[in-house]
Structure 1
Amino acid sequence: MKFKLLTFFPLLILLTSSFNTPAYQLARLKYSGGGDWYGNRTALVNLAAFCNQNLRTNFAPEEAVTEAGSPEIFNYPFVYMTGHGNVVFSAQEAQNIRRYLIGGGFLHIDDNYGLDKYVRVQMKKVFPELSFIELPANHPIYNEKFKFPNGLPKIHEHDGKRAQGFALLWEGRIICYYTYECDLGNGWEDFGTYPGDTAEKRSNALKMGANLVSYVLTH
């Protein structure tokens, strides 16, 4: 399923939400450089199930994996990227991601601790003219079905820093959302995967993830 005109996607949701056959998938980005792109292994499966239950979406129960330079990326309205280490986009991969995002796609980058210094440089290859801006707590992305009056919730502790949600904007639309000092995907994983997991943190993580999906598919 191609979606080069993503204005059709909200309609697609309405047309397929009652069908038994899944209409689309959440996808994980596979990238080069040696970083663990495969981290948070159960995150997308759990997020898809939560969204299907609470947003009445129709995601497949399993995640998809798409490579940064592959045309298959255009099959997915929501692509998730995570890891702890190095990231490298080739010129072709950067151009492919750029076309995907300008064409209506969405990339969620979730720093799993250690990704920040690499991914910011690589996203400059994709959009040299854009810079990440921090979204205010009153932004609509924090006020979809689930309300977060203080902005991005803190899920996993590293350095005692506050959680921050950054965005790249293209013609006023969020094309990339970057969660930093938060580890949102850790909270999507099976409960008890990490020390310090609590039911409240996991609930907040899944609700925030559902807000992202809702925002992407309706904006």
Structure 2
Amino acid sequence: MKILKKILILISLTPAILFSQDIAVLQYGGGGDWYSNPTALPNLVDFCNSQIDTNLDNKTKTVTPGSIDIFDYPLLHMTGHGNVFFTQEETENLRDYLMSGGFLHIDDNYGMDQYLRKEITKLFPNQELKELPGNHPIFSYHFKFPDGLPKIHEHDNSRPQAFGVEINGRLVILYSFESDLGDGWENPEIHNDPEAVRLKALRMGANIIKYAFEN
């Protein structure tokens, strides 16, 4: 009965994934600060609406991994500094979402990597996070980043890396590591980033949104 109910939910909500034009923040468990960078998504949305002709609502929506509400959004954004934990039910629900057309962008705000990788393994135990090459389409989908993921904030003097999980040839998870795109999307007075750096972050964010909506 539980399996039948899940199938019926997926059938009824798949059109929302295909046609919705909004994004949401993923409120995960484990104690990590999922609510980091509160001005980031509204600023990114405003940039996308003006630069790549999207029609997104800049009011931030929040969903939990175990809720059927995630199926209302073609893209979920996840960030934070600390622990991440998905229950079994949340893992199954999030996996169903990704398998049925959803996209998850995870932006490490510094400190979530060691926890996050275990949860991604729970989601897709037979897959692995693989670094995306610089010629991956997401780096040139609208704005051009010939060197791959841009570096926005310095933490451990490490290069920025974009990791992904692909299912049947489709990228379903993008994990931006040692880049901190979200900090670059925030209001300029918060991190005092140069305008050129903020522009790189916003343009890469626009690529992610456009790619997720069209693939």
TM-score, with structure 2 as normaliser? 0.91
Query: Which structure has the highest helix share of the two?
Result: 2
What displacement does 1:3 show?
A: 5.2
Q: Is 1:83 paired with 2:53?
A: no
What displacement does 1:144 show?
A: 1.2
8 Å CA contact 1:25–1:60 kept in 2: the answer is yes
> What does 1:180-191 correspond to in 2, within 5 Å?
180-191=177-188
> What does 1:28-177 correspond to in 2, within 5 Å?
28-177=25-174
What displacement does 1:150 show?
A: 0.3
User: Which residue number corresponds to residue 189 of structure 2?
Assistant: 192
User: Which residue number corresponds to residue 17 of structure 1?
Assistant: none
Amino acid at match of 1:188: W
Question: 2-side partners of 1:109 and 1:96: how far apart?
Answer: 17
| SS at 2:190 equivalent | coil
What displacement does 1:61 show?
A: 1.7
- Structure 1 runs (4+) deviating above 6 angstroms are none
What displacement does 1:5 show?
A: 4.9
TM-score, with structure 1 as normaliser? 0.90
Consecutive unaligned residues in structure 1, runs of 5 or more: 13-22
Match of 1:205 among 189, 198, 201: 201
Count of aligned pairs between the two proteins: 204
What displacement does 1:217 show?
A: 1.3
| SS at 1:110 equivalent | strand
> What does 1:13-28 correspond to in 2, within 5 Å?
24-28=21-25
What displacement does 1:203 show?
A: 0.2
Amino acid at match of 1:211: N
| SS at 2:92 equivalent | helix
